Amino acid sequence: MRAVVQRSGRAKVTVGNRTTGSIDHGYVVLLGVRDGDSETDAHYLAEKVAHLRVFEDDSGKMNLDLEAVGGAVLSVSQFTLYGDVRKGRRPNYMQAAAPEAARRLYEVFNDALRSYGFDVETGEFGAMMKVELVNDGPVTILIDSERKI
């Protein structure tokens, strides 16, 4: 699994004219699920996101986590994180998980984040979404469960 974590001042996701999720301060997480990923991968990423220290303390150092700043998460499924463009110009998505498996692991990831006590807003799995965010910093971190070591 891959997560692109963006520190955000505020963010929202809409489907059509309907807002499906919004946060004021925290992380926007774009989550991609690869064929062969498991619940272990989802829990690994959730733990990393929950304890990631990229918010500034009083000294201006990135030393605080999401809980310390009272932040929330806007989680958006994004199969295109597994787009492979090494050959040609159009991405292939052969590494991305099938929709049923991806949806289940996306939900496991979101539930795991909620178990840490965070408010988790979401997009709509499989829908065409518009994501708006104010990227704070900007700070953007890539976490991949395949590269744990």
Which listed residue (55, 79, 109, 118) is catalytic?
Answer: 79
Catalytic site includes residue 78? yes
Which listed residue (6, 78, 109, 122) is catalytic?
Answer: 78
Catalytic site includes residue 80? yes
Catalytic site includes residue 19? no
Which listed residue (6, 14, 20, 80) is catalytic?
Answer: 80
DSSP assignments along the chain, one per residue: -EEEEEEEEEEEEEETTEEEEEESSEEEEEEE-BTT--HHHHHHHHHHHHH---EE-TTS-EEE-TTTTT-EEEEEE-GGGG-B-SSSSS-B-TTBPPHHHHHHHHHHHHHHHHHTT--EEE--TTS--EEEEEEEEEEEEEEEGGG--
Catalytic residue IDs = 78-80
